[in-house]
Structure 1
């Protein structure tokens, strides 16, 4: 491997990158299209056998009456919250302070729908029943993200989840699942998608994160809810003339990767143990509860990046694509396991971590 200038270059050029399924390129669609005949009709403006059959199968998988395919989860979730707030005549929505809606969407929910967030819990842990019991304002809807990505993919215990669901139903609060990584948490909970989704009034899932498709999302719930979501989808410009590239890739990679979620989960635990064995490093959670976790280091980004670059050059193992600074002078980065981790020779991975531990000690 030639000398590289940046961490992302070193990672992309490494022989054994450990994160995710692979680079995002047109091969994702090419592989999926090989399963289809050229004469298959595409969907048109949200209608047609291709999209409607897929939506029906997703509804069954999630245990919901109906489902709608959206080009993005951002669109789907804002619409879900708008529907529930309109139903209740209350603009307040409860969610975690590090929710995607709060930190990644340029206040879309607030500016487009004039909804108002009530931030629950803190930046270190997921929302729990005690946060709901402590609410001083009425909310129309509660959004729970499972797992909570920005804090390392942490999860509440399943009994806690059941208690929050019961709390919401007793008080007429709609419960929405940000299930962008729903399938990744099922091995930990030892539940089916249908069992988890039964606790929620509406559910969003993503097709490009752990599944590895191109893009797209499903929003599921009862039929009245999904019919309203179709109207809002049109208002948002989400009824593209055709969405079939997203649907075909989602279908193909779901069939390929859903059976692997248990494997990815176990490999994440294995990888976290290696990081926790290195000096000045710890993972959050200490034992992963899905296929993702965060690694925190006492070393700064400026110190850590050259170490990762050197390890990639020396061993061919790519440990991380990017590193972020922490306010206390340390750093952290995100890890998620997919197809790639199992392709790396164990000896090379162990050598990479041996070198990492030595370099962190210097």
Structure 2
């Protein structure tokens, strides 16, 4: 294939993907039944309406924030209290927060090597930011679709200054270890004189599977990053929590990285609203995600689909994967068409190739998903399977 033909084909693929995304979002907005309605799928007016609830979480008569004071400091104190840490620092992105955290730890340990999972967010989604920007050296403890084991950490063939654990591990299916496994992994890292950092972008919903409160989970690590938009539906933002001295140094690096933003009050207020409104409901979402997952399995079996997988079989959080033996483009078209024709969105996320003849998507259960009964799920599965090619 010539370079020109290859570029034309790539442009066509991009146009096709953009068109599918537009159809998917339109179907989602027009549907009468969905599992979740995320903030990024709403209009600006609808997003701004979130701030109508801000009066319940912060004094709106105080002066606006100025380079990280006021409401931003109030949010930092709230997060530190929830996680049981000495302090917390607001960051505009998790990518920046984790680079800064691990850069600070590298200065303290004298070792810039960070041990992490091959599927962790910095390795898959951040364009090698650790090495290109953070002067860190990532090494992969394992690539298996699970968290690293204590033995893998203990027996890793080279020294490292920090172990980073993503809880839950999103690209492996939002999976978590057991509490016992997690404590053993942390102990193994400490035996090697390494610090432990939790990538807790979705830590908020991990309490159900781990069977421990947030402060006890966060207490295992030397530092923790949490996201405000992935589960709490804030406009964006993140926090780094840990010892006061580390957080103070992190704030200096935040300034150097360009994260000392003049005003962040809309994002900070939306995060406080999320902590008040969404955080208490996450266990309910996790519990219902398990009901939905079981109904999906039963629905696929009843529809006679020869092979289908829900992973994990019992979801660890309110997000999980669905695997089907079809081409991703076929499943994307069928998912959107079923949503357009029935008004029920079974699969709202993109389908990605998971191997020859296999595709995988993610299913997210939020407040809207609580309205789905077992029979609703099975009916939607039947409608979906009926549209699949024979």
Flag whether TM exceeds 0.5 (same fold). yes
SS of 1:120's partner is strand
| Residue of structure 2 equivalent to 1:180 | 201
| Residue of structure 2 equivalent to 1:299 | 326
Deviations 1:113-143 (A, max 9, x none): 2211110111422212121022111101000
Counterpart Cα distance in 2 of 1:306 and 1:227: 50
Alpha-carbon shift at residue 8 of structure 1 (Å): 4.0
SS of 2:355's partner is coil
| Residue of structure 2 equivalent to 1:53 | 74
| Residue of structure 2 equivalent to 1:275 | 296
Counterpart Cα distance in 1 of 2:185 and 2:367: 34
Greater mean alpha carbon deviation, residues 200-209 or residues 310-319: 310-319
Counterpart Cα distance in 1 of 2:384 and 2:74: 49
| Residue of structure 2 equivalent to 1:170 | 191
| Residue of structure 2 equivalent to 1:44 | 66
1:221-240 aligned at under 5 Å gives the runs 221-240=242-261
Gaps of 5+ in 2: 1-19
1:35 aligned onto 2:63 = no
Question: Which of 350, 370, 377 in structure 2 is aligned with 1:342?
Answer: 370
Give the TM-score normalised by structure 1: 0.93
Deviations 1:69-128 (A, max 9, x none): 111111000000101111111110011111111111111111112211110111422212
Counterpart Cα distance in 2 of 1:319 and 1:141: 40
| Residue of structure 1 equivalent to 2:158 | 137
Alpha-carbon shift at residue 348 of structure 1 (Å): 4.2
Gaps of 5+ in 1: none
1:88 aligned onto 2:101 = no
Does structure 2 retain, via aligned residues, the 8 Å contact 1:91–1:116? yes
Question: Which of 330, 335, 341 in structure 2 is aligned with 1:314?
Answer: 341
Alpha-carbon shift at residue 360 of structure 1 (Å): 4.7
Does structure 1 retain, via aligned residues, the 8 Å contact 2:88–2:240? yes
Greater mean alpha carbon deviation, residues 90-99 or residues 120-129: 120-129
Does structure 2 retain, via aligned residues, the 8 Å contact 1:275–1:281? no
Deviations 1:10-63 (A, max 9, x none): 333322122354534432332224433653312111223x22222112111101
1:107 aligned onto 2:124 = no
Give the TM-score normalised by structure 2: 0.87
| Residue of structure 2 equivalent to 1:18 | 35
Does structure 2 retain, via aligned residues, the 8 Å contact 1:295–1:334? yes
Q: 1:97 to 1:132 in 2, by over 3 A?
A: same
Deviations 1:138-171 (A, max 9, x none): 1010000010000110111110111111222233
Size of the aligned set, in residue pairs, is 358
Alpha-carbon shift at residue 180 of structure 1 (Å): 0.4
SS of 2:54's partner is coil
Does structure 2 retain, via aligned residues, the 8 Å contact 1:19–1:319? no
Counterpart Cα distance in 1 of 2:330 and 2:53: 45
Greater mean alpha carbon deviation, residues 97-106 or residues 299-308: 299-308
Please, what is the CA RMSD of the aligned residues?
A: 1.9
Higher helix share: 2
Q: Which has the higher contact order (CA 8 A, sep 6+)?
A: 1
SS of 2:278's partner is helix
Counterpart Cα distance in 2 of 1:241 and 1:355: 50
| Residue of structure 1 equivalent to 2:8 | none
| Residue of structure 1 equivalent to 2:281 | 260
Does structure 1 retain, via aligned residues, the 8 Å contact 2:292–2:377? no
